[in-house]
Amino acid sequence: MYRTILFDFDGTVFDTGEGVTKSVQYAARAFGFKADDLSALRAFVGPPL
């Protein structure tokens, strides 16, 4: 019997890239940066491990 189950959620079960990118956009705007192009912001989001 197993006591622990591990699974990879991020990038396997669900693609969280859009949510992370929108979070970066929100933070950038809060600091006064123009952050309209989500594809440009995607470069600041690292790949899943």
So which residues are the catalytic ones?
Answer: 8
Instruction: Please give the full DSSP string across 2-20, using - where no structure is assigned.
Output: -S-----TBTTTB--HHHH
CB-based contact 22:38 (threshold 8 Å): yes
47: amino acid identity, one letter: P
